[in-house]
């Protein structure tokens, strides 16, 4: 009797195929007069020694992450997410200029401090870390993170533990890292009443303002932040805007530009499988092959 491959195995096959197709497509991407930016999305950066065929870990190994950042530092202009509004308002960039890239990290794992930050510092790469404020400093896995709950007894805490406030202070002190909100409890917006949406946005921002200052409470990342399936509603976007955030990012696929809603900017996920060539194709907008993996996005993902 044949055994069907696990869901994650299938996703990896699709992602590899999309990566190859994107490199083929890259020379044919039409130029645009708009200034655009690729906002890359990461989650976990840890030397996880295995792949669960049924449960995604949203991981890039430190070695793979450094290869990606080294390639981006050479071929792109790495800029802070908070600088995008001014860059979008500037005159259009010339065709020969390097593409703009922002680095963002969702969830707020301790391994951002231990594994990602040293690499960011080596390449002077700015980044935004979106934390779930209710779980900062917790000794337990975050409740929404099924992979961490499954493997927390088998792996070092740095692989799955939420980041601590002292680690966030260290990140901020580098001058490279901006902290943003990934909500207060990482609830699905579609499941929340209006008052609960306000609490997710406002409570998180209040905590970040109190602990880290206004500069680290200006950006928001929607948990389960895609419109396909419709997990982020217009009500949620309105609540985030009213709470005082200046920028918010989704998980919808695309390059960001001045014509995008600043409270619902698209991003592009950086996979652990991505070679420098594949990452360059993504950054330059060869994204059509990723529409199929986008449909594979599960509603209960830990984004």
Q: CA 185 to CA 45: how far, in whole Å? A: 22
Q: What is the DSSP string of 205-239?
A: HHHHHHHH-GGGSSEEE-TT--TTTT-S-HHHHHH
Q: Which two tokens stand for residue 173?
A: 């002190």
Q: Which fold has domain 39-92+99-295?
A: TIM Barrel (3.20.20)
Binned at pLDDT 50, 70 and 90, residue 175 comes out as very high
- Report phi then psi at 162, rounded to 5: -65, 150
Q: Are 47 and 119 in contact (CB under 8 A)?
A: no
pLDDT, residue 301, reads 47
Q: How far, CA to CA in Å, does 121 sit from each of 79, 99, 143, 153, 171? A: 14, 21, 30, 31, 10
Res. 303 pLDDT band, cuts 50 70 90: very low
* Residue 249, Cβ density class (10 Å: 0-12 exposed, 13-18 middle, ≥19 buried): buried
Residue 240's nearest CA partner among 205, 207, 265 is 205
pLDDT at 8 over 90: no
User: What local confidence, expressed as pLDDT, does residue 174 receive?
Assistant: 98
How does pLDDT run across 214-224, given as a tens digit for each residue? 999 999 999 99
Band (pLDDT 50/70/90 cuts) for residue 300 is very low
**Domain spans of the chain, in order of start:** 39-92+99-295
Percent of the chain with pLDDT over 70: 93
- Give residue-wise pLDDT tens across range 232-262: 888 999 999 999 999 999 999 999 999 999 9
Q: What is the pLDDT of residues 60-118, one digit of tens each?
A: 999 999 999 999 999 999 999 999 999 999 887 766 689 999 999 999 999 999 999 99
- Round to whole Å and give the CA distance between 260 and 123: 29
Answer whether 0.85 is exceeded by the pTM: yes
Instruction: Give residue 1's pLDDT.
Output: 39
């Amino acid at each position: 009797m044949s055994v069907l491959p696990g869901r994650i195995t299938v996703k990896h096959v699709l992602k590899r195929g999309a990566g190859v197709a994107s490199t083929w497509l890259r020379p044919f991407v039409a130029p645009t007069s708009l200034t655009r930016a690729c906002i890359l999305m990461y989650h976990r950066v840890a030397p996880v020694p295995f792949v669960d065929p049924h449960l995604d870990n949203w991981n890039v190994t430190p070695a793979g992450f450094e290869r990606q950042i080294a390639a981006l530092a050479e071929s792109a202009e790495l800029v802070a997410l908070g600088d995008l509004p001014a860059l979008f308002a500037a005159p259009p960039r010339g065709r020969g200029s390097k593409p703009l890239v922002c680095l963002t990290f969702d969830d707020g794992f301790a391994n951002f401090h231990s594994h990602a930050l040293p690499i960011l510092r080596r390449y002077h790469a700015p980044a935004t870390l979106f934390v779930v404020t209710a779980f900062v400093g917790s000794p337990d896995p975050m409740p929404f993170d099924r992979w961490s709950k499954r493997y927390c007894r088998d792996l070092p805490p740095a692989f799955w533990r939420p980041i601590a406030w002292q680690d966030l202070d260290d990140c901020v002190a580098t001058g490279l890292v901006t902290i943003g909100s990934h909500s207060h409890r990482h609830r699905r917006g579609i499941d929340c009443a209006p008052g609960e949406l306000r609490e997710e946005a406002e409570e998180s921002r209040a905590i970040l303002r109190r602990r880290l200052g206004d500069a680290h409470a200006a950006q928001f990342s929607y948990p389960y932040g895609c419109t396909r399936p419709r997990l982020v509603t217009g009500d949620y976007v309105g609540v985030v805007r009213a709470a005082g955030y200046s920028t918010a990012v989704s998980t919808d696929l695309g390059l960001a530009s001045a014509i995008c809603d600043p409270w619902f900017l698209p991003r592009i996920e950086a996979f652990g499988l991505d070679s420098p060539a594949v990452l360059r194709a993504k950054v330059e907008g060869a994204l059509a092959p990723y529409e199929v993996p986008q449909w594979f996005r599960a509603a209960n993902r830990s984004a």
